[in-house]
Chains A and B, each alone.
Chain A
């Protein structure tokens, strides 16, 4: 129940050092059954490298050791993954994962702007370009790199989002420092980012798994 409460109010749940002896896949299956969602694919291992070490279609290839701006994952997908599970393998106590519920973002705008802001993916996806709303059908999306604003309202949103974090009063931070430290993020409601990585080269390794909502109908 606490998991659902936290997801609903904070947009994420900090599971602490969660069953550290188990692998992320087993944890993910458990949580997936509990939440009624299915796994997207196997887990990915995220490391921190310089921008030259990764391709330009990735956040790593664009931001490297710098701050990762607040975003929702795969925001350029029409239906992004519902949840993200992040689990520490090798931590860095100086690096924080930042979390912001989208209600803090939409509170900065009129309902009209939120309803009318239109974005499109910066490049074709499956050969297509298409328009999407900032928030629609229960999904909030934001990505300053992968989404291009298509109208005046969207440009207003972008201008706010690329301004300093101090615009948002409530932001939470979790430090994935210990092996097994796990957080589950509601990717349809909560933005996340990462603070600057000061220790270079970085040994930090985080595992990530996505979950998809069952039976989402477009």
Chain B
């Protein structure tokens, strides 16, 4: 079969469009509303390109099977315009598919796309007077997304702006590191001012409360007690049958640390990573096979009377 045109949901088509929007963005002065506006359009193309890299079918709105057929490159019936998933759904899928595209980045994208919606669907001026404090977070998202599709930032932004982006991303990491260091030091100071007996009591309580069922146990960087890391699913889960139970293992990316002893709370992957708590961990849950396959049983036998040999 000859391929004269790219599929409009293909990674290639979306990436070239992202590059076009990036060029338009960079043609604007940074304090012009259009700088932010084109940046949002570029970011949407990158999110979609990353999902499409796994499969174009993941961009199809599955409510109508014709959309899936279209994504597969087949001719469809009479439907003229094929529908892809909303950007919010694309973000959810990208977060599930790519562990490096973490919750912090998704949250930034949600905010930026809300601005885009405000610009397109109302009389509001969400990109006016926005400044550029959002740019380091924006470039961090772009860098992660272009890595998922295997292109360098310089291809999207040009060499000069890619270098600027690298500087801004590094500065963001440095800022996160400074902020979290300050928080840890403050909690450490307060902790060390407590009486030894009180510290021992609080540490013991924290150890009791920090069960594996409640989260992933980790040493608190401020008081060295046992704290808990909570995370979001990052990657595919695996399951196997062990000792009569279905054991499900899910890789998790940290999103929050809490210490019940000194009260330290660190939220957001970049800050957790900056203080050494950013490593992925595995959530392990054991299920009774009846509970695990409950839905299958219901589907199979639901609505039927007891078995009998009545002809």
Contacts and interface: CB of A to CB of B under 8 A. Distances in A.
Interface in B1-46: 2-8, 10, 12-13, 16-17, 19-20, 23
B164 to A, nearest CB: 15
Interface string A136-151: 1100000000000011
B155 A126 contact: no
12 contacts: A78-B3, A78-B5, A112-B159, A116-B155, A116-B158, A126-B5, A130-B16, A131-B20, A132-B6, A152-B23, A218-B6, A218-B12
A131 B13 contact: yes
B219 interface: no
Contacts of A115: 152, 154-155
A4 interface: no
A212 interface: yes
Given A78-B6, A131-B13, 9 more contacts: A77-B5, A78-B4, A112-B158, A115-B154, A126-B4, A130-B5, A131-B17, A151-B19, A151-B20
Interface string A163-203: 00000000000000000000000000000000000000000
B12 A79 contact: no
A120 B217 CA distance: 55
Contacts of A212: 2
Given A116-B19, A128-B8, A131-B20, A216 B3 contact: yes
Interface of A: 40, 77-79, 112, 115-116, 118, 125-126, 128, 130-133, 136-137, 150-152, 212, 216, 218
Contacts of A137: 12
Q: Which of B3, B152, B159 has the most CB of A within 10 A?
A: B3
B5 A125 contact: yes
A218 B10 contact: yes
Nearest to A114: B155
Nearest to A132: B16
Contacts of B16: 118, 130-133
A118 B16 CA distance: 8
Nearest to B159: A112
Nearest to A152: B23
A79 B3 CA distance: 5
A212 B6 CA distance: 16
A218 B13 CA distance: 10
B13 to A, nearest CB: 6
B4 A125 contact: yes
Q: Which of A77, A130, A137 has the most CB of B within 10 A?
A: A130
Contacts of A136: 12
Contacts of B17: 131
Interface in B81-104: none
Nearest to B160: A112
Given A112-B159, A132-B16, A218 B7 contact: yes
Q: Which of A131, A152, A212 has the most CB of B within 10 A?
A: A131
Nearest to B6: A78
A35 B12 CA distance: 27
Given A131-B13, A218-B10, A77 B2 contact: yes
A112 B159 CA distance: 7
B96 to A, nearest CB: 23
B158 A150 contact: no
Contacts of B158: 112, 116
A115 B5 CA distance: 20
B84 to A, nearest CB: 16
A112 B154 contact: yes
A118 B159 CA distance: 16
Given A130-B13, A218-B7, A118 B19 contact: yes
A130 B19 CA distance: 13
B19 A218 contact: no
Nearest to B162: A112
A87 to B, nearest CB: 22
Contacts of B4: 77-79, 125-126
- The 7 A-B pairs at the shortest CB distance, nearest first, are namely A131-B16, A79-B3, A78-B6, A77-B4, A115-B155, A128-B5, A112-B159
Interface string B180-205: 00000000000000000000000000
Nearest to B155: A115
Contacts of A130: 5-6, 8, 13, 16
Interface string B140-154: 000000000000101
Contacts of A78: 3-6, 12
Q: Which of A115, A132, A150 has the most CB of B within 10 A?
A: A115
Contacts of B8: 128, 130
Nearest to B157: A116
